[in-house]
Amino acid sequence: MSRNNNKTWWDRNKERYIEVVREPALDFIQDFGPRLTRISPHFTADARTVGGSLMRPHRDTRFSKDKTPYKTNVGIQFRHDAGKDIHAPGFYLHLEPDACFAGVGMWHPETPVARRIRQAINDDPSGWKQATKGKAFTNTWSIEQDEDETLKKVPREFDQDHPYANDLRMKSFVAGARVSDQLVASTGFDTRLIAMFSKSAEFTAFICKAIGLPF
């Protein structure tokens, strides 16, 4: 797709996309739902073609210098049932050759929501430590972020000497884990993926509690 990222090619190959990519992805989402409820009943595996867990193949190019129209990956988000878009708390799967990864947490929340999460980290450092610094979490997940994904300084309303000051600077409250193409293609991938998500349960629960959502 990266070599043929144009509408002409897409129109000629749309049926192949539906057969080879969309329908298998929707089957995976449907089958994954019961596993997800073992972590929390509040995260949905929605196998609708539009508006569900499978993200659309078209890129939003309105504010991007890159005007190529289509994504080169498959994105699946199992988001909180109180959320309406990718900015809700959720579990995420990114499928792309040699660049597959899983993600958890909340990506680019609105400013008031981000402030509530920072407030929770500020007020409950021991709870944040338990959710993000233990081996059960860090052996699978990483919350390190690039400088362009963090604030330059800890916001003034929070403890400037907080033990997790760098986490108070985060714009997104997410963790990621690389997965190999071989694992994605294996028969036990769904079992491995839910095990990975399970190890992030305390992290996701902390975020949900901070913003007043049930977990």
Total Cβ atoms within 10 A of residue 24: 11
User: What pLDDT, in 10s, does the model give residues 99-154?
Assistant: 999 999 999 999 999 999 999 999 999 999 999 999 999 999 999 778 888 999 99
Residues 40-58, buried b or exposed e (16+ Cβ, 10 A)?
bebbbbbbeeeebbbbebe
49-95 pLDDT, tens per residue?
999 999 998 888 888 888 888 899 999 999 999 987 767 899 999 99
- The CB density around residue 208, as the number of other CB atoms within 10 Å, is 20
Average pLDDT, the chain: 94
Please tell me the total number of residues recorded for the chain in this structure: 215
